[in-house]
Structure 1
Amino acid sequence: MNKGRIKWGMLGGGQGAFIGIAHRIAAYMGERYELVGGAFDVDYDRGVAFAKALELDTDRVYASVEALIKEENKLPKSERMEVVSIVTPNFLHYPMAKSLLEGGFHVICEKPMTMTAAEAEELQELVQQTDRHFCLTHTYTGYPMVRQMKTMIADGEIGEIQRVDVQYYQGWINPFIHEKEKRKSVWRLDPAKSGVSCCMGDIGLHAFNLAEYTTGLQVDRLLSDLNYLYEDNNLDVDGTVLIRMGKAKGVIRSSQIATGEENNLTIQVYGKDGGLKWCQEHPTVLTLLKEGKPLQVFKPGNPYNAQLTMDSTKMAPGHPEGIFDAMGNIYKGMAKAIREEQAFEGEYPTVQDGVRGMQFIEKVVQSNRDGNVWINL
């Protein structure tokens, strides 16, 4: 097994790509990874220029994932990339991940993991066959207070769960959706690049993942009502999904036409003995509700938190941590897996989360298409 920093590559994430910056900051944060190269851009020359700006060895800039796999595997094991991050549009996730796993690399992949549930299930089998680690960057699971919420629910702090309510509202598509030509310029509204869903496949998926991650329950039935706004618009931009998780019931509300909203992700879980609330725009605050008692506020960095929460906190109490820190915790968990170190349960989302997510997306679209009916998940 290699020692030292994990040699790491990227597919996509080049000049001007915010998500690429997020991944690089997250990886550098724990000082566990070293970026050594990648295929950063569909334009090879732009990729080389980007690598020069980062002072990387341009000999390890590749024109394609196939070239990367071929050339990296020629290097001594101690020098070659061990893990590669996929930060490209959705339609490239599956073929790239499949090639990397077959080529012997661990994979960190943006969500959604694939374009279809069948592809996701194939990747799940391939991960098992190749004995590689696969991390899906559901970033919000990396927030310390989300992990505290998960731990408190598992410890029975709020009792048997009765209701789950998750909201994820953005407004960024609103300036594009109302004009036909502008709609054509948004790749997330193109089924060939985005898949069968825009809003639910992008942010509704995060809401679904958080519901299952924090509660430890699985959605077993759902009913959806999606909004496309215009007949010539092929993908949803807004929607509501009723969910059942065993005895518990709930709702997932997602919109990318919630005018003026930025990144309003909120989860509320109510049990027999109490409730917990967390909002991504105020991520250092977890609120506990109990009947007849004052609200209790939990904040990161304090010793009353769980071990998983403390291990996920980098700063002293009162110093806010944000989205880069959350993704950094996921990269940290993946590093532990690659280096075969002891880790906490739930430190990073796996290929199984990717399969659940793709099944959710397809069932949501099916429920809406079939007339807003209940469907088993």
Structure 2
Amino acid sequence: MSKIKLGILGGGEDSLIGILHRVAANMFDQYEIVGGVFDVKHEKSLKFGEKLQLDQSRIYKDLDDLIQNEARLPDTEKMQVVSVLTPNFLHFPMAKKLLENGYNVICEKPLTTTYDEAKVLDELQKKNNSIFAVTYTYTGYPMVRQMKTMIQNGEIGQVQKVDVQYYQGWINPLIHDKEKRAATWRLDPDISGISCCIGDIGTHAFNMAEYVTGMQISEILADLNYLYEDNPMDIDGTVLLRFSDKIKGVLRASQIATGEENNFTVKVYGDKGGLKWEQENPNYLYFLKEDQALQVLKPGHAYNSDFSLEGTKLPPGHPEGIFDSMGNIYFGIANAIKNEIKFDGAYPQLKDGLKGMSFIEKTVASHKQGNVWVKMQD
């Protein structure tokens, strides 16, 4: 079968995530990157496309140019899916135009800058029946999928406590300098939306809490930290989670956790046991049970679920990381395009991005209303 033709918007020479998506797309031999718009400056985009050894005629000036010229190609050559790797404020207009022109879409998170924009995309996706993925990357890790399966199978019993933490420290050197914080696009609402920390990494934690437990968060109470009065964006926050009257949790996110790199930790406790996973040590899933020794589960072994093993590409003992996690998501998207999906949760969908946008807005609302409980449902 011929490879899926993939186009990319953004992700050029200066992008932090571009290489992650390109490696992921090539991992299972499912995609062929055929072109795109890698930079707002066409000359830089052309130069980068040359570096990737792409046909220069398919390095377009902008999205309109891409859509117009791709439409002239034979169906067997046209882009079938386009990845949107641009800053947040461009996600909505680009994804909307792609959906309107019949493309499948892979979009970085947060999905948009507002919940209303996300609802527009949701309606378009349903109308066109397009495949639309939002890259909550960490759901692709084999041991996260193992965690999800074990909870679903009741191996820890009834869930009673969820604790998700995502700590980084990268904003700390910038936030205390007025000029630097004013020049950081992540702290510019016109580019990022209404939230920095919760919008950037808090949504990962929110998505993970629901993904691994299979439960939905019904209410939240948030306390955010902006640190300086002239800083319009949160850079730290704690959110209490209520799945039900008897099942509760906490979400902690920070970008001023000095010295932290990418400390994303997920802990779920049931009445029979607990599970713990750490992104910086992603090949270990800790299984805790009362009156028993701690068990450490690792990828690639036969004791893992089929869902976990599908995303394991190397024998046990060979570390797999974030490239593999994103590769598993791209593999799930490829299977969806080919109508060959085998596992629930194989890739994060538009509905997950929609819920993420709702979470961002409800979190900010909870904080600004005086740290009150806010219902997640519309």
Indicate the SS of the match to 2:95: helix
* 1:199-225 Cα deviation digits (max 9, x unpaired): 000000000000000000011000000
C-alpha contact 1:312 1:329 (8 A) present in aligned 2: yes
C-alpha contact 2:105 2:132 (8 A) present in aligned 1: yes
Q: Distance in 1 between matches of 2:126 and 2:273?
A: 39
Look up the match of 1:224.
222
Indicate the SS of the match to 1:124: helix
Look up the match of 2:162.
164
* 1:259-280 Cα deviation digits (max 9, x unpaired): 0000000000001111000000
Question: Which amino acid is 1:183 matched to?
Answer: R
Query: C-alpha displacement at 1:342, in angstroms?
Result: 3.6
Indicate the SS of the match to 1:125: helix
Q: Distance in 2 between matches of 1:13 and 1:180?
A: 29
* 1:289-331 Cα deviation digits (max 9, x unpaired): 1110001111000000000000010000000000000000000
* 1:331-376 Cα deviation digits (max 9, x unpaired): 0000001111142110000010011100000000000000000000
Look up the match of 1:121.
119
Look up the match of 2:325.
326
Alignment counterpart, residue 200 of structure 1, candidates 198, 201, 221: 198
Look up the match of 1:30.
28
Look up the match of 1:175.
173
- Aligned pairs, number: 375
Query: C-alpha displacement at 1:66, in angstroms?
Result: 1.2
Q: Distance in 2 between matches of 1:119 and 1:145?
A: 33
Question: Which amino acid is 2:163 matched to?
Answer: D
C-alpha contact 2:226 2:232 (8 A) present in aligned 1: yes
Query: C-alpha displacement at 1:184, in angstroms?
Result: 1.5
Q: Distance in 1 between matches of 2:317 and 2:229?
A: 49
Q: Distance in 1 between matches of 2:65 and 2:113?
A: 23
Question: Which amino acid is 2:159 matched to?
Answer: I
Are residues 1:151 and 2:149 paired?
yes
Are residues 1:315 and 2:314 paired?
yes
Q: How does 1:1-377 map to 2 (within 5 A)?
A: 3-246=1-244, 247-377=246-376
RMSD: 0.6
Query: C-alpha displacement at 1:41, in angstroms?
Result: 0.3
Question: Which amino acid is 2:203 matched to?
Answer: L
TM-score, normalised relative to structure 1: 0.99
Question: Which amino acid is 2:300 matched to?
Answer: G
C-alpha contact 2:332 2:341 (8 A) present in aligned 1: no
Q: Distance in 2 between matches of 1:4 and 1:113?
A: 30
Q: Distance in 2 between matches of 1:365 and 1:254?
A: 13
Indicate the SS of the match to 1:92: helix
Q: Distance in 2 between matches of 1:373 and 1:359?
A: 16
Question: Which amino acid is 1:24 matched to?
Answer: R
Q: Distance in 2 between matches of 1:350 and 1:170?
A: 26
Question: Which amino acid is 2:369 matched to?
Answer: D
Q: Distance in 2 between matches of 1:270 and 1:63?
A: 51
* 1:222-252 Cα deviation digits (max 9, x unpaired): 0000000000000000000000012310100
C-alpha contact 1:337 1:343 (8 A) present in aligned 2: no
Question: Which amino acid is 1:283 matched to?
Answer: P
Query: C-alpha displacement at 1:16, in angstroms?
Result: 2.5
Q: Distance in 2 between matches of 1:192 and 1:19?
A: 21
Q: Distance in 1 between matches of 2:69 and 2:128?
A: 20
Indicate the SS of the match to 2:164: strand
C-alpha contact 2:89 2:112 (8 A) present in aligned 1: yes
Question: Which amino acid is 1:366 matched to?
Answer: A
TM-score, normalised relative to structure 2: 0.98
Runs of 4+ that moved beyond 4 A: none
